[in-house]
Structure 1
């Protein structure tokens, strides 16, 4: 019995000295050093530096976003002496509630806004009363009482001027009061949002706990990475054609959005086109069975059923059960192939360090700028719109895959149009639409349209159209213009369409009635072409599609 206190003391001393019992995790400062943004997520890397004595240690990187993917948590260490990362885990963390002084200041500001709102409301009531007084004066002058004479002309003029001046003043002041009301409401909403975030039970975060063993004192560098799904990026392009140049200047940009709950300040940014959501392996096909409905019902009936809540006979299905299974079979969608539009991936490391605040809206970061050789031409369809559109036929001579994204086009420093860029791989040719250009003039005019009757007895009706297309190149250099028009296409053997002009060479004709001209125009050159055709059919045949 005398040895029991001594044994307990020795046991306690042994446990306290054991390396398995660690103190509370040591919180260390970390900073976001690098971010890789994908089209649907981001991988964030944090870095921390610290000095550790020999032994086992638990360190905590705190205030990580609450919505991190815990399964993606990874850590690595490097040190100037032997050090081992034993494990990494995450845990919930709640920041302490804000101090009462800040809440008090916000409450004081909200009370002051409420007072100002009452003043505005009271003043508006006074103005409404004045408006009603002016209305009563007007009513009294236009419809006086029986014992009251009608005012004279001069008196009416004075009353009208007084009413007009007073009403203008009242309405002007009410407009100012309305602006003040809106400004006070915006200020009140902002303060209430701030107070709401301060007055709750604290801000929720995650923290990562790393267990590290060192054989001797060491300077340790820790890197922690995790995935966030509240971030994305998409490509955007500016295509600029400068006057006198036969090359297009392309500016490749990334539009980055992030609402992760943490600010990325002065980080090493990379934009990746990889799609982690697709996985790394080809999905496995399952057998696609085709069977008659009755045999399928029998197969479902013979399949072992899960344990029911109450036992029942399942030897065969009654008619109601068969109808239900048949209905389910009818609603089953056909198997679909899983198709990926991504043919390649690339990573764009942004040379300049970037700052992207959470919830700060879209932000552009420059990826690259390069020039592409281009052959320029104009395209037009004057029957639809009398505008010539500039197009650059080019090739992606850069090392970058051009991914689908928005495309803004400029002629010099003038914004022309906005469109979409398709996916273009390095070395692949493509076309850039550069918008309408008024310097290439094209006009289409209906010269005449007339109807006559043909045949020995005049039994056929013929409608003839004649158009003139006028083109002028107002540029100081030669330009190429491709423009199209069309003939009606007959879907009935009784309806005959005949091209009258132009005749011979100089244009191409397709089976669907489209005609195309390809002209090279000298500087300032004017050129015209006549398009004439006739549509002939029995006069008592009702024909649709003619103007």
Structure 2
């Protein structure tokens, strides 16, 4: 059995020679299931074991592996205990791919060439300095004190010697300088090549760093060939939906091209794995909330207000949840499988994904549905109406939250974010402003003969005028939204009236939110008037 503490002597030897009855294995990642947050990794390895009791030793798990989630199955032998270890893990032989080894060799070659080139330049510069020193010496020699007393013949001989030697020294210095400059230009190219080689090596994302260990006890009645399969959860991984939504206004046809960005930072590279994307969200709430007793009490009017305690633990979680409300080439598409509760997309090509580096987009296919288009006007906040597509998700699949690129009649109009739309649910999708539908909202000016805002100490009247002007040259169905205040106190009386009458009030359960539905012909202007009255006791203040 594997001892709990390894001596320094034992830990320094290769894993294959650690224990006579241990069988070291390298388990490759075969398949991965990714969730919107997190994933499940499955590894496999084959082994050969003689008769008797042994331990299968796996040293290639990333150190941050969630060891509590590891599940193991063994074929070909009886499985016993399972031991995991994150610290004091025996060293393993680093496994480098051929591409990494070749890239490292190229970096070493260029580094050696760079050192040689720098040494050569230094030698040439020394030659240049020596030649320049000769020139300086000859110049000083021609200016010595004894030159003036020399015989003419000797002087001519000295002048000739100094001239010849000076020319030779200057030529040597110039040649050395030109050689040094050429070598420095080559040095620049070599430096750039070395930088490119280092970047190429870094792009291969070598797997380095500490690892965790897994030891599986097995017992074989006879010599056997077996297989071990283990799975575990990873947290630094996941996928994010992304959509291209293309709306054809004339037909109301909406095309939803779905994709997914996958990434992982598990601490190891995944090479040619079978990938499945699941809509299951295991990191979110998996159990129904509890309903806790609710105590109410009354006190004297002048009694101090109790300090509300902060909710903690499960109660706080429950409270927070209650508050939350040219023809393109064919793409390789992940195949969808629906089990009644979730959807899984199996990508039918092996996928490689480097840890902490790659972000890969895969195609999840296209959904189609029909919509009803209309203009939504919110003059309380906007100066133009917006084109909306009202859809019912009759595709049979849920639309997960994700980034959306929006196209109207083939033209890109912007981006947004899609909320969760279960199968069968309704959703409104915006496709940009309609600049020709202009909105104005103003409180009437009393000088124009209207009531405007009249405020006294205990009442307030307000008259609002809303206009929707159609300058688009076509008719539009419009849904206009605005609001009036509401009260939950009997002493604060709020009344209002609208002309024309509202089509819906308390829209989507939002108290005081109003909506008018009408058709607006080209060139026409729709006027909506909204009056409201508030009244309260004189000893109270309106907030």
Q: Deviations over 1:39-98 (max 9, x none)?
A: 44222101223444544443333422111012222211334xxx3222333342545589
**SS in structure 1 at match of 2:250:** coil
RMSD: 5.5
Residue pair 1:69, 1:226 contacting (<8 A) in 2 also: yes
**SS in structure 2 at match of 1:68:** coil
- Change in 2 beyond 3 A, CA 1:334/1:192: same
1:352 — aligned with what? Answer: 348
- Change in 2 beyond 3 A, CA 1:63/1:191: same
CA distance in 2, matches of 1:39, 1:232: 5
Q: Deviations over 1:458-495 (max 9, x none)?
A: xxxx99998864314446xx642223578999xxxxxx
CA distance in 2, matches of 1:276, 1:519: 45
1:333 — aligned with what? Answer: 310
Residue pair 1:270, 1:347 contacting (<8 A) in 2 also: no
Q: Deviations over 1:118-177 (max 9, x none)?
A: 9xxxxxxxxxxxxxxxxxxxxxxxxxxxxxxxxxxxxxxxxxxxxxxxxxxxxxxxxxxx
Matched, 1:42 2:46: no
Shift, 1:432, TM fit: 1.8
Count of residue pairs brought into register by the alignment: 385
Matched, 1:67 2:46: no
- Change in 2 beyond 3 A, CA 1:535/1:417: same
Shift, 1:332, TM fit: 6.4
The correspondence for 1:239, drawn from 242, 245, 253, is 245
The correspondence for 1:213, drawn from 202, 219, 227, is 219
**SS in structure 2 at match of 1:71:** helix
Matched, 1:407 2:407: no
**SS in structure 1 at match of 2:357:** coil
- Change in 2 beyond 3 A, CA 1:70/1:395: same
- Change in 2 beyond 3 A, CA 1:359/1:106: farther
Shift, 1:431, TM fit: 1.8
- Change in 2 beyond 3 A, CA 1:425/1:101: closer
2:361 — aligned with what? Answer: 364
**SS in structure 2 at match of 1:451:** helix
The correspondence for 2:84, drawn from 90, 94, 107, is 90
Listed as ranges, the gaps of 5+ residues in structure 1 are 1-20, 119-179, 291-328, 456-461, 490-496, 537-547
Shift, 1:259, TM fit: 0.8
Residue pair 2:79, 2:216 contacting (<8 A) in 1 also: yes
Residue pair 1:451, 1:464 contacting (<8 A) in 2 also: no
CA distance in 2, matches of 1:252, 1:112: 55
Listed as ranges, the gaps of 5+ residues in structure 2 are 1-17, 123-187, 297-305, 326-339, 452-460, 487-494, 534-543
Q: Deviations over 1:95-125 (max 9, x none)?
A: 558999788558658869999xx9xxxxxxx
Which range is displaced more, 275-284 or 243-252? 275-284
The correspondence for 2:438, drawn from 442, 446, 454, is 442
- Change in 2 beyond 3 A, CA 1:60/1:42: same
Q: Deviations over 1:488-530 (max 9, x none)?
A: 99xxxxxxx999xx97x587697999886533357xx332235
Aligned positions of 1:93-242 closer than 5 A: 93-95=90-92, 108=112, 187=195, 203-242=209-248
Residue pair 1:61, 1:208 contacting (<8 A) in 2 also: yes
Shift, 1:226, TM fit: 1.9
CA distance in 2, matches of 1:391, 1:454: 35
Q: Deviations over 1:377-403 (max 9, x none)?
A: 111235643433121222222333333
2:273 — aligned with what? Answer: 267
CA distance in 2, matches of 1:471, 1:112: 77
Matched, 1:420 2:417: yes
2:519 — aligned with what? Answer: 520
- Change in 2 beyond 3 A, CA 1:346/1:451: same
Residue pair 1:65, 1:206 contacting (<8 A) in 2 also: yes
Q: Deviations over 1:313-338 (max 9, x none)?
A: xxxxxxxxxxxxxxxx9896344332
Residue pair 2:107, 2:197 contacting (<8 A) in 1 also: no
Matched, 1:249 2:255: yes
- Change in 2 beyond 3 A, CA 1:257/1:379: same
- Change in 2 beyond 3 A, CA 1:518/1:203: closer
CA distance in 1, matches of 2:311, 2:464: 52
CA distance in 1, matches of 2:448, 2:34: 70
